């Protein structure tokens, strides 16, 4: 005995599936058009955010470069064992730097002028109060 309802049921499932595919394609194409409209706007936002992050990374790179330039080059070239050691070494090296005048510069020693010291003692001192 052959069931005549089976092919019609199968055809109904195929028709519903085909209709679902057509509706899904409509929404997919509509979504693609909205993506096409949004692409320039979102692209500009992404570009601005990338530029901002790039500026921050450039500043961070400059800070690291300045920090590494201030590090002293010691005779023992062992790598620091911790970040705290790096900071302390840098701080101590900046504290011990001596910025004196060159040894070739000579200063003239002025003699006391007795007339100026006598005039300065005779004039009354003004105190701001």
More confident residue, 23 or 106: 23
* DSSP-derived secondary structure letter, 104: T
- Contact between 84 and 107 under an 8 Å Cβ cutoff? The reply is no
Tens of pLDDT, residue by residue over 46-97, are 999 999 999 999 999 888 888 777 765 655 556 667 777 777 777 776 666 5
Q: How far apart are CA 89 and CA 71, in angstroms?
A: 7
pTM summary value: 0.35
Q: Per-residue pLDDT tens for 11-42?
A: 889 999 999 999 999 999 988 888 888 888 88
C-alpha 8/C-alpha 39 separation (Å) is: 46
Phi first, then psi, for residue 115 (nearest 5°) are -65, -40
């Amino acid at each position: 005995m052959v069931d005549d309802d089976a092919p019609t049921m199968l055809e109904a499932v195929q028709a519903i599936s085909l209709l679902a595919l057509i509706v899904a394609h409509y929404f997919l194409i509509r979504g693609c058009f909205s993506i096409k409209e949004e692409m320039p706007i979102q692209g500009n936002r992404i570009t601005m955010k990338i530029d901002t992050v790039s500026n921050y990374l450039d500043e961070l790179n400059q800070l690291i470069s300045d920090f590494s330039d201030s590090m002293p080059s010691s005779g023992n070239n062992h790598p620091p064992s911790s970040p705290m050691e790096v900071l302390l070494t840098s701080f101590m090296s900046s504290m011990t730097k001596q910025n004196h005048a060159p040894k070739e510069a000579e200063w003239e020693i002025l003699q006391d002028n007795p007339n100026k010291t006598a005039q300065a003692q005779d004039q009354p001192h003004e105190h701001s109060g």
